[in-house]
Amino acid sequence: MTRPSAGPVPKDTVCSDTICAIATPPGVGSIAVVRMSGPDTLKILDRVFRGPRPSRQQANTCRTGWIRDQGSDIDQVVLTAYRAPRSYTGEQMAEVSCHGGSVAASAVLALLCRSGCRLARPGEFTRRAVLNRKLSLSQAEAVLDLVQAQTLPAYRGALRRYQGRSLAEAAGLVGELKDLVALVEHHIGFDETDAPWPERFKAAHAGLLRRLDRAILGAERGRFLSEGARVAIIGRPNVGKSTLFNRLLGEERAVVTRVPGTTRDRIEETTLMAGVRVTLIDTGGMTARPGRLISRRTAQQTEEAIARADMVLAVFDRSQDVRPGDHRVAAVENSVCVLNKSDLRRRFPTGFLNGKTRSCVELSARTGANVAGLKRLLARRLLPGADAAFSGARQAQALAETRSAVLRSSQAPDVETSAFELHAAMEALGRIDPAAADGDILDRVFARFCVGK
């Protein structure tokens, strides 16, 4: 696994206290694990462990003994000891495996707190691993994604990032940026009207922008794996939105009738598509001019669903000519066009959607014809590629800021400004895995962690 670059740990980040927490989820189970980390870990265990002294225990070994409180046995446990710096946190560390359930683990935790430990904050073990240079910040985020993964693709993507995929890709981008900086700065002071260098300059910028575009797209789709995606189904009344909704879910969730406007309140259900948790939203029909109060409320709910959606399926009735409501549907940007009712004779004009949507699928939601084709298209849009290195809003934002700076550099009026923007790009890219992250960034990252991780 790729590790962060070695270097001295800043003095203000070294943790002087010893923490503890229950690392296993609550409930009935065969074992419960209490985790400890800090300089006094083994000294504290010497006072409460009946058996060979933990401070003399060989690193990375397990021993059986009893946890005792003032001469009274609490539980028979297995004690695993880790020595600094070869531990998860980089500190003295131990894991006490008790009998399952909440009673034994809670009693051990309370005893450790009375004996000199402090109860750990959410994510504090992994935070210490970052501060002690055992993990980079992107690897720490991957730890959370591993724990929270609900599908195999989500787990595999998180595992690649934990193994250092983000670090390696960021290093490659930094290398390209440095090469571009060297190219630009080499021409500072030279005649800027000279023809040979602008072509190399433009080509290098274009190549870097393409690589950043791929990285940003991968980060956005990586978010779908960890957080799921929202897909809104829109269209004018009676084009088959609810039928398509039911077909994609594989169950009759929405009421389907021939009466237009059956769906007035949006319906949401979650399903799995290619390993991504997809929340499908069946919306009310979009009309040219919502008039009645109910129609206005339906229109408002539909607009809200579109605004919150990661992807929009714009459904049209292939068997009918264009209706006024179709114009509002077609105006939704970056939507996927679905021409429904392919089992009926086509009357929908071929050129109506030219230039308005990026992809178009013809299918029959009623018979199921080519619904599999729509699912394949959704999978291509939602799944990151196998080489995707980044994930999450924080990393995507850093990449977007990097791209903006590179774009400004490519459009700069002179080489001095171009070089300045490239240095700004390197600074933005460095925020993905900063050498010494400030407290605000760490607080935001580890606020999502559970206690004990």
Residues 56-98 have pLDDT tens digits of 999 999 999 999 998 899 999 999 999 999 999 999 999 999 9
Collapsed DSSP state (helix, strand, coil) of residue 176: helix
Yes or no: say if 140 and 441 are a contact pair by the CB < 8 Å rule.
no
The per-residue pLDDT for 5 is 46
Distance of CA 252 to the CA centre of its chain: 31
Question: Is the CB of residue 31 less than 8 Å from the CB of residue 97?
Answer: yes
For residues 98-102, average pLDDT: 91
Contact 48, 65 (CB under 8 A): no
Tokens of 19: 């923490």
Per the CB < 8 A criterion, the answer to whether 225 and 157 are in contact is yes
10-21: pLDDT as tens digits: 443 446 899 999
Residue position matching structure tokens 């696994």: 1
Do the Cβ atoms of 245 and 234 come closer than 8 Å?
Answer: no
Domains of the chain: 11-136 (3.30.1360.120), 152-225+392-432 (1.20.120.430), 228-382 (3.40.50.300)
3 state DSSP class of 147: helix
Q: Can you tell me which residue has the tokens 């005893």? A: 111
| Alpha-carbon gap, residue 84 to 59, rounded angstroms | 9
Question: Number of helices (H) and strands (E), helices first, in the chain?
Answer: 14, 13
335-388 pLDDT, tens digit each? 999 999 999 999 999 888 876 656 899 999 999 999 999 999 998 888 876 668
Torsion angle of alpha carbons 439, 443, 446, 450, nearest 10°?
A: 130
Cβ atoms within 10 Å of 280's Cβ, excluding its own: 23
pLDDT at 442 over 90: no
CB atoms within 10 A of CB 152: 9
How is residue 435 annotated by DSSP?
S
Please give the structure tokens belonging to residue 440. Answer: 């605000």
SS3 call for 53? coil
Q: In this structure, what DSSP letter does residue 56 have?
A: G
Q: How far apart are CA 303 and CA 390, in angstroms?
A: 30
Residue 407 token pair: 């774009």
Instruction: Please report, as a single letter, which amino acid is at residue 337.
Output: C
Nearest to 405 by CA among 192, 131, 181: 181
Q: Which of 129-133, 314-318, 392-396 has the lowest mean pLDDT?
A: 392-396
Instruction: Report whether 92 contacts 37 (CB < 8 A).
Output: yes
Each residue of 352-384: b (16+ CB within 10 Å) or e?
ebeebbeeebbbbbbeeebbeebbebbeebbbb
Return the structure tokens found at 334. 């970056």
Give just the sign of the alpha carbon dihedral 339, 340, 343, 349: negative
What are the structure tokens assigned to 439, written together? 């407290």
Token representation of residue 400: 């977007």
Residue-wise pLDDT for 144-194, tens only, equals 999 988 888 889 889 999 999 999 999 999 999 998 888 888 777 665 555
Residue whose C-alpha is closest to residue 394's, from 278, 220, 229: 220
Please check whether residue 290 is in contact with residue 324, taking contact to mean a CB–CB distance below 8 angstroms: no
> What are the beta bridge partners of residue 359?
336
Buried-exposed string 100-119: b where 16+ CB fall within 10 A, e elsewhere: beeebbebbbebbeebebee
For 191, residues 6+ apart whose C-beta sits below 8 A from its C-beta are none
Q: State the pLDDT confidence band at 4, using cuts at 50, 70 and 90.
A: very low
Considering the chain, what percentage of its residues have pLDDT values greater than 70?
87
Residue with token string 């959606």: 309
Poorest-pLDDT segment among 79-93, 129-143, 218-232:
218-232
In total, the chain counts a number of residues equal to 453
Confidence grade of residue 290 (pLDDT, cut at 50, 70, 90): low
Which H or E run contains 39?
none
